[in-house]
Amino acid sequence: MKVLRKLLKANYFIFLLIFFLAVLLISFSGYLFNFPDYATENTVVDEFKKYPVISYIILTVILVPFLETLIFQGLVIEAIRLITRKKRWFCWSVSLSAFLFGIAHSYNIYYVFMGIIVGLLFALAYYLTIYRKESPVLTVTIIHGLVNLATFFDEFYF
């Protein structure tokens, strides 16, 4: 709980940086643990690579993070908040949001598992941003977009 309180009081850019680094660490864990290439292969990214680089960036860094945030955090968390109207909504909404996010990234079992963990971090960032009285959709979209931008550089330049 102390960590959550500190996150609630942290400067907005520090808040973004903490979640960005946490999600980035999870996203690139395949490299850290030396998973085989097929485990981290993303067929959707391979399809996007067929488009010009600027289209790829617009899709993966701006449009997709925004739409996924609206669907998996905004829709799910806000719907459960409205239905339950109790403090218990947190666990249900964060869990369901993370699970759906992971299932939507079902390129292989590695992506589902990592997607659920990343989804938990996105849902937590969304939840905390509500209490910080800032835009949760914008905050999670920024974090997600930055992670996808890092993935873009990894895919194209490393």
Residue 56: domain span: 2-157
- What are 114-139's pLDDT values in tens digits? 999 999 999 999 999 998 999 999 99
Higher pLDDT, 155 or 102: 102
Higher pLDDT, 87 or 95: 95
Is this model's pTM higher than 0.85 or not?
Answer: yes
Burial of 24 (0-12, 13-18, 19+ CB in 10 A): middle
Q: Locate tokens 């993303």: which residue? A: 42
Q: Report the interhelical angle of 109-131 vs 12-27 (nearest 10°).
A: 170
Rg, C-alpha atoms of the chain = 16
pLDDT for res 107: 79
Structural domain count, the chain: 1
- What are 28-71's pLDDT values in tens digits? 887 777 666 655 566 666 777 777 889 888 999 999 999 999 99
Residues 102 and 24: their CA atoms lie apart, in Å, by 16
When pLDDT is averaged across residues 88-107 and rounded to a whole number, the result is 89
